[in-house]
Structure 1
Amino acid sequence: MSRKVYIARNYRSKFDAAGKAKMDCETILQNNGWKNIGFKQTWIANSILGTLISALGVSWALLRLKSGSTVCLQYPFNKFYGYCLWGAKLKNSKVLTLVHDVRSLKGKYGHSEKEITMLNKSDQLIVHNDKMRAWFEEQNIQAEITNIEVFDYLHTDNPNAKRTPTDYDQIRIVFAGNMGPFVYELDALERGNFKFDLYGVGYDEKKVKNINNTMLDYKGCFPSDQVIDHIDGDFGLVWYGNTLDTCDGVTGQYLKYNNPHKLSLYLLCDMPIIIWDKAAMADFVEEQGIGFKVSSLRDIKTRLAELTPEQIDQMKQNVQRVKTDVQSGQYLSRALERLV
């Protein structure tokens, strides 16, 4: 059996949401018997020093890499992914790449040929979902591919976290993240038995269009290691862009292919999901019974009115089932088992 290894790296902060998924993946790899052959995971904010440590760690890892190993790389890996591929092939080792972001799909390259050529040097890929897998197959990728389905989010429940029972006369819909233009359009929705609780950065009260009768309640911004304990709501909203009627722009369109880490965060906050019907994760949400999809945010009033308290309670029970796997790293663990 081949030796299973990975290369830990430096992250800007142990509590930075941007690095949470990759740090969790390193932990899950270790828990599944994979060995780190680089330096220990570090959390140095200085970009120059952090890059230097990562460079030295990768070089040290490639020197230690034994022929015939299987090395798991996380992509993107700044400037080092190509270097790692070169070193792995030099040592006659198999490469399994765990894909976090596809820059071509985010408009970073303009054309996918450069990125596909690089990823095609992997022997195996773990991608987000069936939609992303189909896109890779359209690019004639040769690697063996499997899906992670949903990103894990390692966390231990805090028994003191606030979880208020649902008030069906005023259902709290949570949006967590950067405040996109659509957030301020929410006040244009027809009033119903719901409001929006906002968590994150970029909120500007001056942009609220209906300040005297707003449905928006800004709750603040919290570090990534604390936000789960602060979010208290009934549904989590997965939506990006400028309008209420569709997810537009680069980030909105990327929803057609990616698994937002935000969705996993909501599950750990015990909340069912409301998601754009063209998002890649919309099928997962409905198949697992953990929420519902909408083509426009204008549909929320009708959809919530159609749900009985018993149906919402069932969604919350289903959330607990999926949450158990998400917070213990089972989705990546199963993907690794399918490939190795």
Structure 2
Amino acid sequence: MKKIVITSVLNRNGQNAGSKAKNDDRNILVNNGFVPLDIVVPEDRVRKLLFSKIDIPKLIKENNADEYIIQYPLYSMIVIRSVIESIKANNKNSKIILLIHDVEALRQRKGDQAYTNKEVQIFNEVDGIIVHNLSMKKYLKATGVHVQMIEQNLFDYLNDAPIKVKKEYNREICFAGNLSKAEFLNKLRFNKIRLNVYGAPKSKKIYKEGIFYKGSFDPDELPRYLEGDFGLVWDGDSCKTNTGIFGEYTRFNSPHKASLYLSTGIPVIVWDEAGIAPFIQENRLGIVVGRIDNLDEVLTKISHEEYQAIQLNVQNYAKKIRKGKNLLDSLRKMENRLFS
């Protein structure tokens, strides 16, 4: 049985760019029998339309398969619709599975009902969807998605840096991400703990007491530089809750940042209303909190023995997501449903 994974990349200044999450999932699938089909999506609208009408049907015809995994989104409604229609026209017996990286109706297009309707329609045109977590699955069902859905809980993260083993609990936190979206950092001050910050801009950032800017690193190199007993997963401009488009999005998504920390052997601190919070609690992979301006007190209450127990769980989980087990287990469940 031939299987193909379709991944779209954007052509920026002559360079094909894709996210680490998509690249990792592509590599995991290719290493497990899938044939890669990479689509370079034009940025110009007219060229994108021509690409969808002419090039995509030809590409699909040349790459016939029994099973397709499409890494969603493909950066364009026109492109994703053309891919699905071309697969169905070429082989009506092919199974199509969407591997969700982002649901734009929950993020950049939140509140846009017309776009939400289009996205739901796309989802209902495939045979199955691998979603982030139970919260996202419930949302999609509530909006009218009725196809098979399997949640993978957290993304895998290919990481060849040594898994960190902390012999001493030093009450140290790390945060990695887009610092322009992390306004909450400017409001934090710590006396008993240390917060190490990583990310763009590369120019040195000055924060308040207890917070230290450590620089910006390539995603594949970053794990080697992370220093902390916990990795912080937080978004927005408030220390008391997650705010803004991306903060609200954490109610439904599984942030790739959490997988970065966990694959490195670092337990996580997540918002107690986040979509991944129940999974983190149930598997003791970190702690969940309602606010982060009191982490001085929260972390001092965690004993060395408690931390070591959490860290042991994380070390075992790191080995799993470094091998792509979350995606492969979810895919196996989906294939059992679709091909049985």
TM-score w.r.t. length of structure 1: 0.85
CA contact (8 A) 1:177 1:200 kept: yes
Equivalent position SS for 2:269 = strand
Query: What is the aligned counterpart of 2:74 among 55, 72, 77?
Result: 77
For residue 9 of structure 1, report the CA deviation from its aligned partner. Answer: 4.1
For residue 115 of structure 1, report the CA deviation from its aligned partner. Answer: 1.1
Structure 1 CA distance for aligned equivalents of residues 245 and 64 of structure 2:
41
2:25 paired with 1:25: yes
Structure 1 residues 186 and 12: CA distance shift in structure 2, 3 A? farther
Equivalent position SS for 1:307 = coil
Structure 1 CA distance for aligned equivalents of residues 201 and 48 of structure 2:
28
- Partner residue, 2:183: 181
Between 1:292-301 and 1:216-225, the stretch displaced more is: 292-301
Structure 1 residues 221 and 134: CA distance shift in structure 2, 3 A? same
- Partner residue, 1:116: 120
Query: What is the aligned counterpart of 2:155 among 147, 151, 156?
Result: 151
Task: Please identify runs of 4+ aligned residues in structure 1 that moved more than 4 A.
Answer: 15-18, 54-60, 163-168, 203-207
CA contact (8 A) 2:96 2:127 kept: yes
Specify the code of the residue in structure 2 equivalent to 1:216. I
- Partner residue, 1:308: 303
Specify the code of the residue in structure 2 equivalent to 1:307. I
For residue 122 of structure 1, report the CA deviation from its aligned partner. Answer: 1.1
Structure 1 residues 203 and 98: CA distance shift in structure 2, 3 A? same
Query: What is the aligned counterpart of 1:139 among 137, 143, 165?
Result: 143
- Partner residue, 1:96: 97
Point out where structure 2 has 5 or more consecutive residues left out of the alignment. 336-340
Structure 1 residues 251 and 16: CA distance shift in structure 2, 3 A? farther
Point out where structure 1 has 5 or more consecutive residues left out of the alignment. none
Using the aligned pairs only, state the percent identity: 28
Structure 1 residues 57 and 173: CA distance shift in structure 2, 3 A? farther
- Partner residue, 1:195: 194
For residue 200 of structure 1, report the CA deviation from its aligned partner. Answer: 0.3
TM-score w.r.t. length of structure 2: 0.85
- Partner residue, 1:217: 212
CA contact (8 A) 1:9 1:57 kept: no
- Partner residue, 2:248: 253
2:261 paired with 1:266: yes
Cα shift readout 1:113-133 (whole Å, capped 9, x = no counterpart)? 121112211110000000000
Equivalent position SS for 1:298 = coil
Between 1:314-323 and 1:292-301, the stretch displaced more is: 292-301
Structure 1 CA distance for aligned equivalents of residues 265 and 175 of structure 2:
14
For residue 311 of structure 1, report the CA deviation from its aligned partner. Answer: 0.9
Specify the code of the residue in structure 2 equivalent to 1:7. I
CA contact (8 A) 1:16 1:224 kept: no
CA contact (8 A) 1:272 1:316 kept: yes
Query: What is the aligned counterpart of 1:331 among 306, 309, 326?
Result: 326
CA contact (8 A) 2:168 2:304 kept: no
Cα shift readout 1:205-234 (whole Å, capped 9, x = no counterpart)? 6763x4xxx111100001112111111211
Specify the code of the residue in structure 2 equivalent to 1:126. I
For residue 106 of structure 1, report the CA deviation from its aligned partner. Answer: 0.7
Structure 2 CA distance for aligned equivalents of residues 249 and 17 of structure 1:
27
CA contact (8 A) 1:97 1:122 kept: yes
The alignment yields a C-alpha RMSD, in angstroms, of 2.9
Cα shift readout 1:25-80 (whole Å, capped 9, x = no counterpart)? 111212222223x35x88x9x967x989x97874443112437x221111100232
Specify the code of the residue in structure 1 equivalent to 2:3. K
CA contact (8 A) 2:250 2:274 kept: yes
Specify the code of the residue in structure 1 equivalent to 2:86. G
Specify the code of the residue in structure 2 equivalent to 1:331. N
Structure 1 residues 165 and 99: CA distance shift in structure 2, 3 A? closer
Specify the code of the residue in structure 2 equivalent to 1:274. I
Structure 1 residues 103 and 304: CA distance shift in structure 2, 3 A? same
Structure 1 residues 206 and 237: CA distance shift in structure 2, 3 A? closer
Query: What is the aligned counterpart of 1:229 among 213, 221, 224?
Result: 224
CA contact (8 A) 1:181 1:243 kept: yes
Between 1:148-157 and 1:294-303, the stretch displaced more is: 294-303
- Partner residue, 1:288: 283
